[in-house]
Amino acid sequence: MPSVLKSQPLVNTISDNYKILIVLGAGSFGQVLKCLKLDTAETVAVKVLRNSNADELNMREMRMLKKLRCMDSDKSNIVRCHECFQRSDRTFMVFEMLDMSLHEYMDKRKWLPAPLNGIRTVIKDVRIPERI
């Protein structure tokens, strides 16, 4: 991926309610932006997806996140997804801002496998009764 995309947002604006602060990361999927949600003054992470041949995958991810939103994220070890929406040729997924990404966590662990007890806790919490 060109280095300019790692620091330059894929979009200039998300909506009137979000102010882009910085690019947190970039990959083949798109980018994750640190944003300020203006109506709540909350800092959030916004995943901006490239809508190429992956439209069906984007829709599937949004359906999955919608089902996960009904879970109590205070009792579950699942990142909170506030909303998903599409605008022009982009898909946006708004998440709570965590202190580090999975990539940063694994890098901090020197890429050793995550502890089994931690994985069990997360897997136990992710029980979606019907097929996504």
Which segments are annotated as binding site? 47
How many CA atoms does the CB half-sphere of 127 hold within 13 Å? 6
**Residues in Cβ contact with 5 at an 8 Å cutoff, skipping those fewer than 6 apart:** 23, 26, 31
Strand (E) positions, the chain? 18-26, 30-37, 42-50, 81-87, 90-96
Edge-to-edge strand order for the sheet containing 81-87?
18-26, 30-37, 42-50, 90-96, 81-87
Q: What are phi and psi of 68, to 5 degrees?
A: -70, -25
Annotated binding site for ATP: 47
